[in-house]
């Protein structure tokens, strides 16, 4: 047998991986093509070429919910990071009564469908006389709840992968605890913090199930606006709006990657930055 010949199992594996990528990317490519369709019908292959649908995607009707989703996702991601980082410290390094229960509650939104979470939050707000929060503030509370596990888990992974000698070494040189935290611990786990923030942003920006119950007529994310528009059929405008809603999270993650290499967290051994 020729040693240079690729074994059949590897050929099959590569073919399977290629098929998976095609299955994932084909709908995106088809949607992108439909957004430039010259016909008012959503057909593929496109009938002609037109930028009309992209012009409608940038109209006030769609820009308002798009900006609302952007603001909501940014706020939810920042709040999740602000709450999730100290909570991860407590769960990883602390020992207290009820720790297992807190861990289960933090992981709960990953197991519980966001549809159920949205219904529960809506009923809770009305039961406590806080129905006026339905809209932005209700959505923010709900999105922080469903995004918090991402921040807690990524920071926890970074803390567990952090070399145990770094902080004692800094403390032995006379650094007070607050300085060890600021100059040693936080820089080392920054990849996990920013990765959790990025995941939270994407999850919030693309959520529709929870947002469907907590949105108000004047304050609704773009996902809810798309769902409402689908009642009248799938026009090429939705293809352009869908592509915009795909580009925005990608642009935000690319911007974060410029400042903090999130990939180091995802692919480095231990889930955090390697010590020097």
Determine the pLDDT at residue 134.
Answer: 85
Place of tokens 């119950």: 213
Beta carbons within 8 Å of 243's beta carbon, 6+ residues apart: 31, 32, 35
Domain tally for the chain? Answer: 1
Does any domain span residue 181?
yes
In whole angstroms, what separates CA 121 from the centre of its chain? 20
Does any domain span residue 104?
yes
H-state helical runs in 4-59: 8-34, 52-57
Determine the pLDDT at residue 19.
Answer: 92
Does any domain span residue 29?
no
Beta carbons within 8 Å of 192's beta carbon, 6+ residues apart: 154, 155, 156, 157, 158, 159, 265, 271, 272
Phi, psi of 211 (to 5 degrees): -65, -30
Does any domain span residue 16?
no
Determine the pLDDT at residue 145.
Answer: 92
Q: Which helix (H) or strand (E) holds 156?
A: helix 136-160
Does any domain span residue 17?
no
In whole angstroms, what separates CA 173 from the centre of its chain? 39
Residue of 33, 89, 8, 16 whose CA lies nearest to 243 = 33
Domain that holds residue 173: 57-271
What b/e string do you get for 63-94 counting C-beta neighbours within 10 Å, with b at 16 or more? eebbebbbebbbbbbebbbeebbebbbebeee
Determine the pLDDT at residue 3.
Answer: 52
CA–CA distance, 104 with 108 (Å, rounded to integer): 6
Does any domain span residue 38?
no
Residue of 170, 163, 150 whose CA lies nearest to 189 = 163
Structure pTM? 0.80
Determine the pLDDT at residue 187.
Answer: 82
CA–CA distance, 257 with 263 (Å, rounded to integer): 8
Determine the pLDDT at residue 174.
Answer: 76
Does any domain span residue 44?
no
Determine the pLDDT at residue 273.
Answer: 45
Q: What is the pLDDT along the chain (276 residues), one digit of tens a residue?
A: 455 565 777 888 888 999 998 898 888 888 888 888 877 777 777 777 878 888 888 888 888 999 999 999 999 999 999 999 999 988 888 888 888 888 888 888 888 888 888 888 888 988 888 888 888 999 999 999 999 999 999 888 888 887 777 777 877 777 787 877 777 778 888 888 888 888 899 999 989 889 988 888 888 898 888 888 877 767 788 888 888 888 888 887 777 777 666 655 555 554 444 443
Does any domain span residue 114?
yes
In this structure, what token pair is assigned to residue 39?
């016909």
CATH code assigned at 263: 1.10.3720.10
């Amino acid at each position: 047998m020729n040693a240079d010949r690729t074994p059949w199992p590897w050929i099959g594996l590569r073919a399977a991986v290629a098929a998976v990528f095609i299955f994932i990317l084909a709908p995106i490519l088809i949607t992108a093509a439909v957004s430039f369709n010259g016909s008012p019908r959503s057909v593929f292959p496109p009938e002609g070429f037109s930028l009309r649908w992209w012009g409608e995607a940038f109209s006030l009707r769609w820009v308002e919910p798009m900006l609302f989703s952007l603001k909501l996702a940014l706020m939810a991601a920042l709040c999740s990071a602000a709450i999730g980082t100290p909570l991860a410290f407590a769960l990883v390094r602390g020992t207290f009564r009820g720790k297992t229960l807190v861990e289960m509650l933090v992981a709960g939104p990953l197991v519980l469908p966001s549809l159920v979470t949205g219904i529960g939050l809506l009923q809770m707000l009305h039961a406590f006389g806080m129905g006026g929060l339905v809209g932005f503030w209700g959505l923010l509370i709900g999105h922080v709840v469903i995004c918090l596990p991402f921040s807690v888990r990524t920071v926890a992974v970074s803390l567990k992968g952090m070399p145990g000698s770094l902080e004692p070494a800094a403390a032995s040189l006379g650094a007070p605890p607050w300085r060890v935290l600021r100059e040693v611990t936080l820089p080392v786990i920054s990849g996990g913090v920013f990765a959790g923030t990025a995941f939270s942003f994407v999850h919030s920006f693309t959520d529709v199930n929870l947002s469907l119950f907590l949105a108000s007529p004047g304050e609704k994310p773009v996902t809810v606006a798309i769902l409402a528009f689908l009642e009248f059929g799938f026009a090429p405008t939705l293809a352009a709006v869908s592509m915009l809603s795909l580009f925005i999270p990608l642009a935000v993650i690319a911007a974060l990657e410029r400042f903090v290499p999130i990939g180091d967290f995802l692919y480095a051994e231990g889930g955090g930055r390697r010590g020097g």
